[in-house]
Structure 1
């Protein structure tokens, strides 16, 4: 019996491996090798031998059918563990299942119903501000808006200047997640990220102490009160770690998707026109409501196409904790695994002309994402699909509905809209627009 063979690929330079190529442009790095080797190949990046997997079949293997071979905690670079703490994001097995069950009620079902009015109120404040400003950079504005929504609904805090300070701290923290050389010196990107993390933890400790004494209707109050089947609740340390994750995940990715949504609508007037028409028909029946949010099939198609073409996150890391075989290749425990969202979303056999922005891919007639499970994975998939998916989708719909019902915008000249993928996917100059009421 011949010994199982490692996947094809190269290890690159000693120590560095192919890290520099990978960090310079993760998408091209994976795409080129996928074209050369197929859906599984090896490399050496971020100091570890790594297997990269691409395509729905490979993604299903990692996220669903063979999850037991992989660990989240062992997969993400050290920076993530230091900066994002022991949150749900880095937990495995029973610990993850238990905490996920405790957190679910704060982000789904009846809790969401209570969030609609606040999401709308905060959105209206920003619309008024943008109307007065007329010209601004949308990425930074969305970052503030989504952060305000996250801090008010998830933490119950609503102080404007405090919210702006925290939002900036999270920007510093995010920048530290992908530094190749994490030196903890005060003037380095990683040092600034650590300082930001400490200030965030300090703030959250205060908030949690207040909520323990006076619970309100926000997600953290629900978490403080929730108990598992044995009657145990989360410790203060756990609550703080989950709060960091909720705030981080609750605004970074939504900001990215909203920015690309407004950019693509401005670039494609015919798509915007259809989306406006759908909203005007709903508006003629009354104000925006939870019920109306479920009656926007075209806006849903547009958002799915944004998720496909401009996924906020490019992929995910795992640690291989159990040897496995895929397509006849053997991968040993101890390796790192990277699965690529970007490249999976751009496979021509699933999405013809993948570089074209085309919301009709998701129309009832075409449903290109339904040919194979795990071919649209901007929010992950399987048992560990993003816990905030319903919260994020509702928030994006509310903001988009208000924009489409009452406003117009155009892209200002002399700016770069090239895609920058790290730390989160955004147009290079942040999308400067001219904004006016319709």
Structure 2
């Protein structure tokens, strides 16, 4: 039964508190890890607030998520905070709409087909094992910042070419850029937003130089940039320089931030559960990992799939997201007005005991090895599996005492003290290129 516009307008808007003029409750949203829980307790499972200058309705649970995603483009459309849209750029896939979005998505997808992923594997393996060598020499490692640098080196190499990581300023610029993506869009010189805009300009200038050099070289599709340079849109035209830069910068962001969080969570949880770590090692024992790691070989590690799925369930690298209402609608007796944002929650859904018994427990056994485990993008899935395989075949690790392992959740979950560990080598490192 369809609810008429007149019926919808007569329904109440969810309870809640808008907070300060324009700013709303944005600062609390960023700084209070219990923001959602406190308001759920006060107002119930659906509540309103104001963030980034926009009215927002928070919803929770699998039913709410299903409602949002089955009404995509009919009632809701994907959106980002203003600061994110500005800093990603007008030509990035995430900010494009309609047919342009669909066309560019088909083009970018070429960089993640199985053939392309198989070609990435050797480069990824070389970078990851290089970091394992460095960590072995140190013995004691503050892991999270090291993982950030490792995933950046992988992403920059695969998306921009091996020459990209030769500039030592590239990673610091990228880190500054990332910090402003979900900031308040206040254009004052000392704000994170403005610092991020400056870093974006430096990154784009470097990207432009790399692209111009590549345009003078013979075509090569050994990395994402090469594929994008060879791509043609529906009219047979190559991508413009400005679009190439925005799309590559988006790929760097997408191939780094949430992936780093997921890998750090894997390291944390398996540091806390050596029995699970040993079971992965038993699964590896019958495989010849050596130099010849292939995509097909990872299919022979179903328990590793279960572990990665449980890591992503227990500590989702993205806590939720936003959709914008493109027309009025009704949900669970409330009016959702056109133009408002709706925030869906992944973390809360994954903690629902009706979906996952004992949701706070790390239990890879809750998932069956049917090959359907991980639904995150194929590049991220491949890098997670490769890193996990190489790490476990070579090291045991112990979480050092006296550190705070509480998770900081913005922009992606990470241990507050950056995950300090002692590594113990259990096998000789394999020779690698």
TM-score (norm 1): 0.88
State the distance in 1 between where 2:164 and 2:192 align: 27
> What residue in structure 1 maps to residue 382 of structure 2?
394
CA-atom RMSD, angstroms? 2.4
Report deviation, 1:69: 2.3
Q: 1:266 aligns with which of 266, 271, 278?
A: 271
State the distance in 2 between where 1:232 and 1:160 align: 30
CA contact (8 A) 2:262 2:316 kept: yes
Secondary structure of the corresponding residue to residue 68 of structure 1: coil
CA contact (8 A) 1:169 1:196 kept: yes
Q: 1:416 aligns with which of 404, 422, 429?
A: 404
Q: 1:206 aligns with which of 209, 217, 227?
A: 209
Change (3 A) 1:90 1:261: same
Report deviation, 1:41: 2.9
List per-residue Cα deviations over 1:266-299 (Å, max 9, x = no partner). 1011111111111222237984322211111111
Secondary structure of the corresponding residue to residue 316 of structure 1: strand
- Give yes or no for the alignment of 1:436 onto 2:429: no
CA contact (8 A) 2:52 2:82 kept: no
CA contact (8 A) 1:39 1:58 kept: no
Structure 2: any 5+ residue segments left out of the alignment? 1-5, 427-433
Q: 1:20 aligns with which of 21, 27, 45?
A: 27
State the distance in 2 between where 1:309 and 1:197 align: 33
Matches within 5 A, 1:137-176: 137-158=142-163, 160-162=165-167, 164-176=168-180
State the distance in 1 between where 2:247 and 2:322 align: 20
Q: 1:326 aligns with which of 328, 331, 351?
A: 331
Report deviation, 1:318: 2.4
State the distance in 2 between where 1:113 and 1:157 align: 17
Q: Structure 1 residue runs of 4+, over 6 Å off?
A: none
Change (3 A) 1:134 1:235: same
Matches within 5 A, 1:222-261: 222-261=227-266
Report deviation, 1:178: 2.7
Aligned residues: 416
- Give yes or no for the alignment of 1:279 onto 2:284: yes
List per-residue Cα deviations over 1:320-379 (Å, max 9, x = no partner). 2222222232211111221111111111111122222111121259x9x99xxxxx98x4
Structure 1: any 5+ residue segments left out of the alignment? 371-375, 380-388
> What residue in structure 2 maps to residue 96 of structure 1?
101
Report deviation, 1:391: 0.5
Q: 1:105 aligns with which of 101, 110, 116?
A: 110
CA contact (8 A) 1:7 1:40 kept: no
> What residue in structure 2 maps to residue 129 of structure 1?
134
State the distance in 1 between where 2:72 and 2:41 align: 25
State the distance in 1 between where 2:214 and 2:230 align: 10
Report deviation, 1:213: 2.2
Secondary structure of the corresponding residue to residue 401 of structure 1: helix
